């Protein structure tokens, strides 16, 4: 059974980040620690009592394609109706369209609960939120009035339609056509891998589709973004005839079986009616609004499934009786949690999850400052830092989620390989997160090419300086916290040196930099995670004498474990970044 980690989330929000400071922002005056606690408590109840019971049955049954449309697994329609009735789709949306404005950092914490309890379900509102955000920023007044109210309420859902059979991640190869038809367009083509592209949860689905207007320039410069509703919407907002959008099939996937991944055909005859968003040939820029929001959301999915896998493995280890550990225990076999290597694996899962959570919520906090801070200079600096962190969150947190889920199977031993124990589902479900919204390689190329390259590393240097300054200021007599601080400082130095080496490569031989971009992204994740764990440890030391003593002592020990057994990965990765390029670029492809 899933237990929402409310104390962990409150620690990061209230104590590590000090998110209550956002109440000083003009548009967030209603935010407080008490509000966050109330929202998280209700979200936890929904996650534990409604979504979690559907997770395993949904995996077994899956979504089902029919000629009349996709049928979701039993219980999902009722769960979605409860989701809408609870007002959850409105969280974080613009109040002008019925939303509830809350900080991104709180919305991100809530999304973790959905992803841990039922990742397949969580993907549907996530994509709707991205479509809503894109329309809020780029849609016309008419489009906003026609679509946003019912999307924000959850009455309708939304999708992102990018990929085509021949294109994959290379959007320059998009062939879907858009033909002008008066004030509207008619779209013809096929899209694949469309998550929740068809379902029976709502009466309408609003597809955000990339297509080319006839005569547009080749490549990404000729791509436009269109609204293509599954069911046409009349001027008064009522539903009209069925549009020419058809789900041809759904994919048979490794995991997230309850989430329908659709092949969609547009325009079998006269063309699917479509509305142009913004200006023609600017579609990729508009779509990136959705993609960046999704990259943060997918990043948190990595550690959210990791949290679920950790809880499952820890419970197994506390109850599975096998062997006698080499420490003083009652005579006879003991629970395997007492075996040193099992404890090591569980601590790896726990500490990695906590570091990833802290990183993702820190990035979300920067997004809030970038959007709402009173001073323009603070908004600019925070947005630059958030932009730098997003590919790291998406890449590192999902890679760690895969490792954590894999360790969960290992803790179960041979029983973990058996579906009935449930550990295998987390491995299957989380695997897609390193691929969704751009693979880890795409994230790392974004990190070094756009985020590092655009300002010659200035944003990274500012982050490194802040990390070093804050770590140097952490003075404590606690031995464990001091050791964690020292390890984190050493790791910051490694990242600084690797960054300078990488910048040198990018200036002369960009291919050398790209050859080590993923190791560099992972290095960033481990080191930033180490900084946040060291800060967490110092906070825990200062507060460990109160009623929450056991929780804070756990934070100190977990941070020390991260420093001693997880963070040393930074040393190996830094060495790869500094000297591992040539073995890639100098090897002929024929020899691979």
Contact criterion met (CB below 8 Å) for 244 and 269: yes
Taking each helix axis from N to C end, the angle separating 52-61 and 119-138, rounded to the nearest 10 degrees, works out to 100
Contact criterion met (CB below 8 Å) for 174 and 188: no
Closest by Cα among 291, 260, 311 to 113: 311
Tell me the chain's radius of gyration from C-alpha atoms: 24
CA distances to 70, 74, 123, 174 from 258, in Å? 11, 10, 10, 28
Nearest-5° angle of CA 356, CA 359, CA 361?
105
- The Cα 184–Cα 396 span in angstroms is 42
- The Cα 463–Cα 266 span in angstroms is 46
Contact criterion met (CB below 8 Å) for 480 and 537: yes
Q: Which residues of 6-34 are buried (b: 16+ CB within 10 A; e: fewer)?
A: eebbbbbbebbbebeebeebeebeebeee
Which ranges of 320-339 would DSSP assign to H, the alpha helix?
none
Residues marked active site are found at 437
Q: 549 — phi, psi (to 5°)?
A: -55, -45
H or E segment to which residue 193 belongs? strand 184-195
């Amino acid at each position: 059974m899933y237990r929402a980690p409310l104390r962990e989330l409150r620690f990061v929000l209230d104590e590590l980040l000090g998110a209550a400071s956002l109440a000083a922002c003009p548009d967030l005056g209603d935010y407080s620690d008490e509000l966050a606690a109330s929202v998280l408590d209700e979200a936890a109840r929904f996650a534990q009592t409604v979504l979690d019971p559907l997770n395993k049955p949904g995996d077994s049954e899956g979504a089902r394609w029919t000629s009349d449309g996709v049928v979701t697994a039993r219980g999902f329609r009722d769960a979605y109706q409860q989701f809408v009735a609870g007002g959850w789709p409105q969280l974080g949306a613009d109040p002008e369209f019925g939303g509830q404005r809350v900080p991104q950092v709180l919305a991100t914490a809530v999304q973790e609960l959905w992803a841990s309890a039922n990742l397949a379900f969580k993907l549907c509102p996530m994509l709707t939120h991205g479509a809503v955000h894109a329309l809020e920023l780029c849609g016309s007044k008419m489009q906003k009035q026609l679509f946003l109210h019912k999307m924000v309420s959850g009455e309708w859902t939304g999708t992102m339609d990018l990929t085509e059979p021949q294109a994959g991640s290379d959007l320059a190869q998009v062939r879907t056509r858009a033909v002008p038809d008066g004030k509207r367009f008619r779209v013809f083509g096929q899209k694949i891998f469309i998550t929740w592209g068809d379902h029976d949860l709502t009466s309408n689905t609003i597809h955000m589709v990339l297509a080319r207007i006839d005569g547009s320039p080749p490549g990404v410069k000729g791509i436009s973004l269109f609204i293509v509703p599954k069911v046409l919407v009349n001027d008064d907002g009522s539903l009209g005839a069925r549009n020419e959008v058809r789900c041809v099939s759904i994919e048979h996937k490794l995991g997230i079986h309850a989430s329908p991944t659709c092949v969609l055909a547009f325009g079998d005859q006269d063309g699917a009616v479509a509305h142009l968003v913004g200006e023609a040939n600017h579609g990729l820029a508009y779509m990136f609004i959705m993609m960046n929001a999704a990259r943060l959301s997918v990043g948190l999915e990595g550690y959210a499934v990791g949290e679920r896998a950790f809880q499952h493995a820890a419970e197994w280890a506390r109850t599975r009786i096998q062997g006698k550990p080499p420490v003083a225990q009652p005579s006879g076999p003991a629970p395997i949690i007492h075996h040193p290597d099992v404890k090591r694996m569980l601590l790896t899962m726990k500490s990695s999850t906590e570091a990833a959570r802290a990183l993702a919520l820190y990035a979300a906090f920067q997004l809030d400052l970038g959007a709402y801070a009173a001073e323009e200079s603070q908004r600019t600096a925070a947005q630059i830092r958030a932009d730098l962190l997003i590919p790291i969150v998406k890449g590192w947190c999902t890679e760690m989620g895969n490792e954590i889920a894999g360790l969960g199977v290992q803790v179960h031993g041979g029983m973990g390989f058996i579906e009935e124990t449930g550990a295998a589902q987390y491995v299957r479900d989380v695997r897609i997160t390193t691929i969704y919204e751009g693979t880890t390689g795409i994230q790392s190329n974004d990190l070094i090419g756009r985020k590092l390259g655009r300002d010659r590393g200035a944003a990274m240097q500012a982050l490194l300086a802040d990390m070093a300054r804050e770590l140097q200021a952490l003075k404590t007599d606690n031995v464990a916290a001091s050791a964690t601080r020292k390890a984190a400082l050493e790791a910051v130095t490694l990242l600084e040196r690797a960054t300078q080496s990488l910048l040198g490569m990018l200036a002369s031989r960009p291919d050398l930099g790209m050859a080590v971009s993923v190791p560099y992204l992972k290095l960033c994740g481990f080191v930033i995670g180490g900084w946040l764990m060291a800060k967490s440890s110092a906070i825990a030391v200062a507060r460990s004498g109160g009623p929450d003593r056991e929780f804070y002592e756990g934070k100190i020990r977990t941070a020390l474990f991260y420093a001693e057994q997880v963070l040393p990965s930074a040393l190996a990765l830094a060495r790869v970044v500094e000297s591992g390029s040539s073995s890639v670029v100098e090897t002929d492809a024929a020899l691979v």
